[in-house]
């Protein structure tokens, strides 16, 4: 499976390559990761709850779906090999359209009105009108963009060259490019700060207002997907078969929890953390990291919660819905 992030966790398009507006502002080289205070004892949960994770429906979308986004009504998939995004109505699973974007989209995000998708090949992001998929512009970012996120006013894009780019959502104007270290993959917003995973072994926290690096914190190897639960940041460590929980206020590692296999994407359903990857789909209790359930489900990546159900992207061409009731 290709690496990507969750984010997680996006898609995008490329129609007209428009020049970036404004100047990128690079920070000084990113600081070396600082090991956070000693984490809570790593734990593997006791016997999993007997709950069974049964899919409600499976929908065919584009080729190699990775990132997912929810616009309040529809689920959007970033189809990496299809160079497209697919719009699926949440209520009945109807495919409403598939829209061409730039080559190799991984991430997709919703800003309240528009869908944004990355092009990992063309180093751009594309803005689509969510109502009808119309291309509203394509904007240059850093090299090898992966996943992206919205802070409500701006779009933040993780670039594989070790930076994160901030674009104004209204017009795509580039407001800054900030160094975050090698292998930037996924982005999450906690209400005031931006968090960026590196596929090495750390996560960087930046102030959303100006891109200042607040801190860099060590997690597990191969940090990929990331999600905010309202208080804490969770990171999927693909190379360590674990998930890290950090307190968002100060980056302290509160726990590192076993996640068998190769964890990839993360979602929060209001009570639990869902983990994709291969060969399992897992659900952990957010309060203490206890493994509640685990099923074999190969080749999963992006994951999103829509307020009722959890949606999972599975290659080669599937979008799967799971209920969250325990």
Is residue 172 a contact partner of residue 18, using CB atoms and an 8 Å limit?
yes
Taking the C-alpha atoms of residue 48 and residue 80, their distance in angstroms, rounded to an integer, is 34
Model's pTM, two decimal places?
Answer: 0.86
Q: Assign residue 160 a region (left: φ > 0; alpha: ψ between -120 and 50; beta: otherwise).
A: alpha
Q: What is the pLDDT of residue 54?
A: 87
Higher confidence at residue 109 or residue 181? Answer: 109
Taking the C-alpha atoms of residue 240 and residue 223, their distance in angstroms, rounded to an integer, is 9
Is residue 324 a contact partner of residue 309, using CB atoms and an 8 Å limit?
yes
Mean per-residue pLDDT for 220-232?
97
**276-294 confidence digits (pLDDT tens):** 999 999 999 999 999 999 9
Burial 52-89 (b: 16+ CB within 10 A, else e): ebeeeeebebbebbbbbbbbeebbbbbbbbbbbbbbbe
Higher confidence at residue 315 or residue 42? Answer: 315
**66-117 confidence digits (pLDDT tens):** 999 999 999 999 999 999 999 999 999 999 999 999 999 999 999 999 999 9
Q: What is the pLDDT of residue 326?
A: 56
Structure tokens at 92: 């009945």
The DSSP call for residue 43 is B
Return the minimum-mean-pLDDT range out of 25-39, 119-133, 239-253. 25-39
Q: What is the pLDDT of residue 6?
A: 38
Of 3.40.50.620, 3.10.20.30, 3.40.50.2300, 2.130.10.10, the CATH number of 17-323 is 2.130.10.10
Judge whether residue 35 has pLDDT over 90. Answer: no
């Amino acid at each position: 499976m290709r690496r990507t992030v969750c984010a997680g966790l996006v898609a995008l398009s490329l129609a007209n390559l428009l020049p970036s507006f404004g100047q990128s502002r690079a920070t000084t080289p990113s600081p070396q990761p600082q090991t956070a205070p000693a984490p809570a004892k790593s734990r593997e949960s006791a016997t999993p709850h007997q709950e069974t994770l049964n899919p409600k429906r499976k929908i065919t979308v584009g080729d190699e779906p990775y990132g997912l986004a929810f616009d309040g009504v529809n689920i959007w998939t970033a189809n990496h090999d299809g160079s497209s995004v697919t719009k699926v109505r949440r209520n009945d699973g109807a495919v409403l359209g598939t829209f061409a974007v730039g080559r190799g989209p991984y991430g997709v995000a919703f800003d309240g009105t528009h869908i944004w998708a990355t092009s990992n090949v063309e180093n751009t992001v594309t803005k689509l009108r969510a109502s009808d998929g119309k291309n509203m512009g394509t904007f240059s970012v850093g090299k090898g963009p992966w996943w992206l996120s919205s802070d409500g006013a701006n779009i933040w894009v993780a670039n594989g060259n070790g930076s994160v780019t901030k674009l104004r959502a209204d017009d795509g104007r580039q407001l800054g490019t900030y160094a975050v270290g090698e292998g930037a993959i996924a982005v999450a917003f906690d209400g005031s700060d931006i968090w960026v995973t590196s596929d090495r072994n750390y996560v960087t926290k930046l102030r959303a207002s100006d891109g200042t690096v607040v801190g860099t914190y060590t997690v597990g190897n191969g940090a990929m997907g990331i999600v905010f639960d309202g208080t804490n940041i969770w990171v999927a460590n693909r190379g360590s078969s674990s998930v890290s929980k950090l307190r968002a206020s100060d980056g302290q590692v509160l726990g590192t929890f076993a996640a068998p296999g190769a964890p990839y994407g993360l979602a929060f359903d209001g009570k639990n953390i869902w983990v994709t990857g291969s060969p399992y789909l897992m659900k952990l209790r957010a309060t203490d990291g206890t493994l509640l359930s685990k099923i074999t489900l190969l080749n999963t990546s992006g994951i999103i919660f829509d307020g009722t159900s959890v949606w999972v992207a599975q290659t080669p061409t599937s979008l799967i819905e799971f209920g969250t009731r325990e």
